[in-house]
Structure 1
Amino acid sequence: MGMQRYLAKRIIHAFVVIYIVATVVFVAVRSIPGDPARLMLGGDADPQALTAVRQELGLNQPMYIQYVRWLSELVQGDFGESIHTQQSVITMLIDVAEPTLSIALLGMVIAICIAVPAGIISAIHRYSPQDYLATLVSFFGISMPGFWIGILLILGIGTRFEAIPSFGYVPLSDGIVPWFKHILLPAIAVGLPYGGILMRMTRSSMLEVLNEDYMRTARAKGLSPRLVLFKHGFQNALMPVVTIAGILLAVVLGGVVAVEIVFGIQGLGRLLISSINRRDFPVVQGTVIIISFVFVFMNLIVDMLYTVINPKIKYGGSEQ
């Protein structure tokens, strides 16, 4: 029952966080200078036309009335309609979510596949040439922003190899191969900076674990070095790495924005930027709520992974 109670508390906490974020965004976007009606009709629009548009969009009502109406619709799963295009916000988000999520997920896979082995090798061979090389590469990744890495990839790979596109996006429904080719370079650009962070975390965590008494005891019992390393060492070192990886996967969604612009991909980031510029309140609110949901959901998944990595972890006072 401890696990069920813990999950129930976390889910309630998640909804409270999302509600607070949504409320803050609701107030913040309406505090941005600029009139959506004037942006729609132009700077020399007729005052009567402006008044009619504001009334049609509900912008002439007091903020608390707008808030209550918006919140009641949100509870029903209705994110409203775009002020600029009159499309459903949900439809717009679904249309642009695939490229962003594809790049973010593949970018994290690339980061993990590079960072975790490099961090382990770096920790095992501390102060060796392998350690210095891994550290140098990780610092390079951390210090280089994703959009700059994207530009370097376009110049170094995209312009030389026609088989690897460097512009645009092909949906997964059009085939796995063309989809993969179009997101490969953006995913590398997104993954390398976060791979550097993960590598440093893996190295630090492994170094801490390797010096623990139980590791020396396991070696003294005559267990094979590989068994000691992976069963007793890596399993315990994995906890902080999983925490950082879960947080970074959510953070990657923000880092995808600049990379999408470099590679000419229409995703969540570009939609959010253009909606802010147009004062398209419903789209901004919907996009931020989705991103905050990803943050909260990933934290919940990370907590669940703890019990898989270490079954001795207790929730709510009962052993798992």
Structure 2
Amino acid sequence: MTVVLRMIGRRLLTLIPLLLGIVLFVFTVMQFSSTDPAVAVFADAPLSPDQLARFREEHGLNQPFIVKYFAFLGQIVTGHLGKSLATGQDVTTLISTALPLTLQLTFLGLIIAVIIAFTLGTISAVFRDRWPDQTIRILTLGGVAAPSFWVALLLVQWFSITVPIFPSSRYVNPADSVYGWLLTMTLPALALALPLAAQMTRIVRTSMVEELDRDYVRTARGGGLPPIVVVGRNVMRNALINPLNVLGLRIGYLLGGAVVIEQMFNLPGMGQLMIEAVKNNEPAIVQGAVLTIALGFVVINLIVDILSLLANPRLRTNH
């Protein structure tokens, strides 16, 4: 437990400069955008130069870069991420409304990907170089090469147009109908999960094959233990370490992929919020959304590292 706490402490120390760097990068990109936020807000009803000047003064848009940056850092420390220039809504409120859907999509996709990957990866390793293994390797090769947005288009074509089983552009809150929520989230989650499942299947297979070739497996089999016991009790646990570490990094890509998938299925999550904010040059919303996703990425990787330490005692001696 002491080792785990030490690791958490080190990660938390590195979290601060990492997040500061992300904030600085996003803040700089938004500040040097060619679109004037004041002009973008009133694009439908253009203001006079004097009115635009007053608007910039009221919202601090004409202040120097360094002043605006440290003002934003001060807002973050107090838990306030600013307000929308167009509507005046608090950014924290907008994120708290959009984030749950993105998390639902990400974790539903993650569950599907993990179930597929560990099932197919284990089958492929156990039946190494036989027809189940060859079939799974061909399928996963195609899955790795397929981007999520292309998979999404195929799923919509097959299961929303050709065979209209699932809706393609509607969201149902699980509080209103769990069945309706599953219907609306199935295709987006599959589009997000299948490429990841293909990557993870290959990693699980490789890790399982390495463990199956170890001496303790041959000894256990020679001692008369059934293969299912050897694989389930010994091999699986040791083989989970590498896939878990890789999975931690891939979850961050799932969050990024959810941004695109949400747009394709018209889901009102973080993706839609960020893209609308970029189009309207709303720096506070973009900065707040990116910071939230970056924080989630770091926290998820921390959890995965802890799980790896708990699953494999040998790793604790290296910390």
TM-score by length of 1: 0.93
Question: Corresponding residue for 1:136?
Answer: 138
4+ runs deviating over 6 angstroms: none
Partner Cα distance (1:165, 1:240) in 2: 37
Partner Cα distance (1:261, 1:273) in 2: 9
Offset of residue 280 of structure 1: 0.6
Question: Corresponding residue for 2:295?
Answer: 293
Q: Which amino acid aligns with 1:35?
A: D
CA 1:316/1:155 → structure 2, altered by over 3 Å: closer, same or farther?
Answer: closer
Question: Corresponding residue for 2:128?
Answer: 126
Alignment of 1:226-305 (within 5 A): 226-305=228-307
Contact 1:97–1:267 (8 Å) recurs in 2: yes
Offset of residue 66 of structure 1: 0.8
Question: Corresponding residue for 1:155?
Answer: 157
Gaps in structure 2 of 5+ consecutive residues: none
Partner Cα distance (1:34, 1:22) in 2: 20
Question: Corresponding residue for 1:11?
Answer: 12
CA 1:241/1:2 → structure 2, altered by over 3 Å: closer, same or farther?
Answer: closer
Partner Cα distance (1:297, 1:315) in 2: 23
State the Cα RMSD in Å: 1.9
Q: Deviations over 1:114-137 (max 9, x none)?
A: 111101111111221111211122
SS in 2 for 1:287: helix
Which range is displaced more, 154-163 or 98-107? Answer: 154-163
Question: Corresponding residue for 1:59?
Answer: 61
Contact 2:4–2:309 (8 Å) recurs in 1: no
Question: Corresponding residue for 1:30?
Answer: 31
Partner Cα distance (1:259, 1:266) in 2: 11
Question: Corresponding residue for 1:68?
Answer: 70
SS in 2 for 1:184: helix
Partner Cα distance (1:62, 1:38) in 2: 19
Partner Cα distance (1:209, 1:4) in 2: 29
Partner Cα distance (2:150, 2:16) in 1: 36
Offset of residue 6 of structure 1: 2.4
Q: Which amino acid aligns with 2:10?
A: K
Partner Cα distance (2:163, 2:88) in 1: 41
Gaps in structure 1 of 5+ consecutive residues: none
Partner Cα distance (2:257, 2:309) in 1: 29
Question: Corresponding residue for 1:40?
Answer: 41
Partner Cα distance (2:38, 2:250) in 1: 38
Alignment of 1:181-192 (within 5 A): 181-192=183-194
Contact 1:167–1:263 (8 Å) recurs in 2: yes
Partner Cα distance (1:221, 1:11) in 2: 46
TM-score by length of 2: 0.93
Offset of residue 312 of structure 1: 4.0
Contact 2:98–2:269 (8 Å) recurs in 1: yes
Question: Corresponding residue for 1:206?
Answer: 208
Offset of residue 269 of structure 1: 1.1
SS in 1 for 2:313: coil
Instruction: Percent identity, please.
Output: 32
Q: Deviations over 1:82-140 (max 9, x none)?
A: 12221111111111112211111111111111111101111111221111211122122
SS in 2 for 1:127: coil
Partner Cα distance (2:64, 2:269) in 1: 33
Contact 2:192–2:261 (8 Å) recurs in 1: yes
Q: Which amino acid aligns with 1:207?
A: V
Partner Cα distance (2:268, 2:317) in 1: 42
SS in 2 for 1:79: coil
SS in 1 for 2:291: helix
Count of residues in correspondence between the two structures: 317
Partner Cα distance (1:103, 1:222) in 2: 45
Contact 1:5–1:316 (8 Å) recurs in 2: no
